[in-house]
Structure 1
Amino acid sequence: MSDPITLQILGSGSSGNCAFVRVGDTRLLIDAGISCRRIEQTLASHGESIENLSAILVTHEHSDHIRGLKTLLSKYPDTEIFATRGTQIGSERLVEAAQSWTTIKAESPFEIGEVRVHPFKLSHDANEPTGFRLDADGFSMAFATDLGVWNNTILEHLSGCRVIILEANHDLDMLRAGPYPAYLQKRVASSRGHLSNDQARSLLSRLPAPRPEWVILAHLSAKNNAADVALNEVKKALKPEDTTRLIAAGPKPAAPFDVARLATPKRPAKTPSQGSLFSTSN
């Protein structure tokens, strides 16, 4: 197939997270942490709709990732939701039990339309959180947000991806000097909290060739980070020969953009060896 892949960040940050991906006739949402009305309006602005979604992939049960699900499922009850069992259980306080849940497990890939989905474990203070790698003919993309540390397994899933949505939640100095009380600062900076700008830079610097074409920094804290601060830190990971386009997502919908498929999918020159879980963070 020669049609491009479309990506749109509908919202990113503690106020709500949601992204739309179209691969041929396969249409996916990653999380639904903004209102159903906003999802409807944003998708409609470029000719898409919730009715035409193939599925929603849910990373974990925190409200900024599932806030819109209850209304969405009441209006569109046939929408398929893919999430771990832990995420489903954790979501019950905000989302009534739905027949459309499909249980997934980390490191157990599955297919939705022409997309092969590879869930992978993340270290976050949620029940059973996952990131996602999406592979299709001539294309690969990964979502890795809401994680306190990264490791070789996560690096492996991101390697060779042409587009990476990566958390850069906070600047450590801004976090320490900011308005959060000590217990919340400790939670954010912990191994089950959120990636800092420095950790995102470290991860990106370790990615082998071929390097990503796009890196979208996600889940930036409104109080403990700023787009220019995050971009200036993370761009230190780029090499002179890199053509990576680095942007920061925010709470407002970004314009959708297309990525052309490759005639022959790129593969990483060398895949990192898998290490013990959450053993490497910097």
Structure 2
Amino acid sequence: MFKVKVLASGSNGNSIFIEGHNTKILIDAGLSGKFIENKLKELNVDPNELSGILVSHEHKDHVTGVGVFSRRYDIPVYATKRTWEQLKSMIGEINHQNERELHKGGFELNDIYVAPFPVSHDALDPVGFNLMVNNIKISIATDCGVFSSVMKDRLKGSNCLIIESNHDPELLKKGPYPLFLKKRIRSVKGHLSNDDLAEKLGDIVTSNTDNIVLAHLSEENNKPDLAFNCIKNSMVFNGISAGETNLMVADRKNGTSLIQVEG
């Protein structure tokens, strides 16, 4: 069984807590050390119990607290070789032994098998994650401009899917962002819209998918109810039963409740 909680999700900071049978990790730490400490305290989790922080890419909203947390609690940090090129200057010096390479071929972190996969985003070497214990699979892809064939294959059949639903196309079009930023968000290296996810949902959700978490919603260009209803309608269209698949929206500051994922 996995325990999963999105601690926060959005442009102000991202972090996800994952617990396997005997392993506890963070996916990204894009908030202050104090914020993450408080969130873990709510779960009765001691940060000293963490086995690692896995970094998806080097953007500030994913790495702000990485260095502080690693230094304070002697936690290994895993990032791809190219991501480390930028990450070192952003998080400050940490114990050299805690600088770990995130191997794209997959690796075991205690009882959790970690399998990164490439995503399309404007970072050096951004990745999503498959996390597996026995026959249970969690997939995370929160910053990606396009559904590649690789990404679809890696997301398909997940027991728990944490996936970006960043913006509503009409709100983005009419919103206050400058044109260059709107183009960046809409680009293949930007962010997935509600409609993008709705269109591909039938390709990735199977009878194994018990939980779908909509993540990284824009504060200015989306609304939780818009994202929820768009994906709920897609579920109905694709014959995905709401009684069997739990759909939720990750709050920007409060994330989600604790999710128990069983195979």
**Alignment counterpart, residue 13 of structure 2, candidates 7, 12, 16:** 16
Does 2:31 match 1:34? Answer: yes
Structure 2: distance between partners of 1:228 and 1:79: 37
Contact 1:116 1:134 in 2 (8 A): yes
Letter in 2 for 1:251: R
Aligned to 2:100: 102
**Alignment counterpart, residue 46 of structure 2, candidates 39, 45, 49:** 49
Letter in 1 for 2:162: I
Return the TM-score normalized by structure 2. Answer: 0.93
- Measure how far apart 1:146 and its partner are: 0.6
Letter in 2 for 1:104: L
Structure 1: distance between partners of 2:109 and 2:194: 33
Q: Sequence identity, in percent?
A: 35
- SS of structure 2 residue aligned to 1:74: helix
Structure 1: which 4+ aligned runs deviate by more than 3 Å?
Answer: none
Does 2:148 match 1:173? Answer: no
Structure 2: distance between partners of 1:129 and 1:255: 24
Letter in 2 for 1:102: R
Unaligned residue ranges in structure 1 (runs of 5+): 263-282
Contact 1:176 1:185 in 2 (8 A): yes
Does 2:123 match 1:126? Answer: yes
Letter in 2 for 1:101: E
Q: How does 1:186-225 map to 2 (within 5 A)?
A: 186-207=183-204, 209-225=206-222
| Matched pairs, number | 257
- RMSD (CA atoms): 1.5
Return the TM-score normalized by structure 1. Answer: 0.87
- Measure how far apart 1:208 and its partner are: 5.4
1:189-226 CA distances to partner (integer Å, 9 max, x unpaired)?
A: 10000011111112212125325111100000000001
1:98-155 CA distances to partner (integer Å, 9 max, x unpaired)?
A: 311211243x110101111110001100010000000102411000011100112111
Does 2:230 match 1:233? Answer: yes
- Measure how far apart 1:69 and its partner are: 1.4
Aligned to 1:93: 89
Structure 2: distance between partners of 1:258 and 1:194: 25
Aligned to 1:245: 246
Aligned to 2:143: 146
Structure 2: distance between partners of 1:88 and 1:43: 26
- SS of structure 2 residue aligned to 1:175: helix
Contact 1:6 1:256 in 2 (8 A): no
- SS of structure 2 residue aligned to 1:93: helix
- Measure how far apart 1:83 and its partner are: 0.8
Contact 1:84 1:103 in 2 (8 A): yes
- SS of structure 1 residue aligned to 2:91: coil
Structure 2: distance between partners of 1:241 and 1:125: 32
- SS of structure 2 residue aligned to 1:203: helix
Aligned to 2:159: 162
Letter in 1 for 2:99: W
Unaligned residue ranges in structure 2 (runs of 5+): none
- SS of structure 1 residue aligned to 2:198: helix
- Measure how far apart 1:232 and its partner are: 1.3
Contact 1:137 1:261 in 2 (8 A): no
